[in-house]
Each structure stands twice: as structure tokens, then as C-alpha cells.
Amino acid sequence: MNHHLESDERGIILPCPACGTANRIAYAKAALQGRCGACKADLPHVSLPVEMSGVEAFAALVSQSLLPIVIDFWAAWCGPCQMMAPEFAKAAVQASGDALFVKVNTDEQPQIAGQFRIQGIPAFALIRSGKLVAQTSGFQPAARLLEWMRQG
């Protein structure tokens, strides 16, 4: 069972729940409900956190997404980040269709983390219309993260 979705510079890779075919959802269309290219079944809204594969994918996401973007900066060695992962995933499900929840591994993507001057992790950033509007850090339950997102 996947706990996150992959991405590339052209969009989010979303497996069809009916036939398993990997569909690519362009970042600009993440708010819409798509259809599987293979079996034509309706695809669900993106409701899992999307792992950012690199700076190109991240730049495409930020410039193209019509939905607010909530970023979780994390690393495999970080205990509080592991505790945060299921809360972040829960928040992603609850905000499905209203926001995109993405994860940036600070060890693998130091260039992205550098753009946000991340000091400690877990850390979070909120982007609306391509602009950084809020940042916070430290473990927080899903409900608190969603409240932060809606106020930001």
C-alpha cells in the first residue's frame, strides 16, 4: 500500500483504483476530477501526500497549481517527522480537493529546503497562488495543521 504519490516535472502520478494504470495529473488540473486514460474510470481527488522528486517538479507545482500547497519538510532520521507522517496524511485526506499536500525530503532535496531557509524539521510551508504565505514547524495533529492552513 502506497502512503504517498510520486511526481515529476509534468505532474502527479496517480494510480487508477480500478485498473492500476498510472495516470499523470497535470499540476494545473489537480483540483479537477480526472478519468483513467486506460479504463475511463473516474479517478479520485489527490488525497495522498505527493513526494517531490526534484526542483523541476517543485517549480512546476508551485507555478501551476490552482490549489493551495502545504509542504511537509522531513527526513528519514527525524523521529518527530515519523510521528508527523500519519497526521500529515490524515490532513491530506480531509483537505482532498481543496489543497495539495506535498512532502520534501530535506536530505534528498536540499535545494528546495534551502529556498525556505528550513532550520529544524518537521517544518511546514503554505503556498497560495505561487506565493509563500505562512511557515510553521514542529509536530502538530492533523486538526491543528488544517486550522493553520485555513488561517494562512
Is 32 one of the binding residues for Zn ion (CB under 5 A)? no
Q: Which of 3, 18, 133, 147 binds Zn ion (CB under 5 A)?
A: 18
Q: Which is nearer to Zn ion, 35 or 150 (CB)?
A: 35
> Interface with Zn ion includes 39 (CB under 5 A)?
yes
Question: Per CB under 5 A, does 36 bind Zn ion?
Answer: yes
Closest residue by Cα to residue 99 from 4, 42, 31, 147: 31
Q: Are 102 and 66 in contact (CB under 8 A)?
A: no
DSSP 15-75: E-TTT-PEEEEPGGGTTS--B-TTT-PBPPP--S-EE---HHHHHHHHHH-SS-EEEEEE-
Cα 115 to Cα 67: distance, rounded to the nearest angstrom: 20
Q: Is the Cβ of residue 14 or residue 67 nearer to Zn ion in the bound state?
A: 14
Catalytic residue flag (residue 78): yes
Active site (annotated) includes residue 39: no
By CB under 5 A, residue 19 contacts Zn ion: yes
Output the smallest distance, CB 24 to Zn ion, in A. 13
Is 22 a residue that touches Zn ion (CB under 5 A)? no
| Contact residues: Zn ion, CB under 5 A | 16, 18-19, 21, 36, 38-39, 41
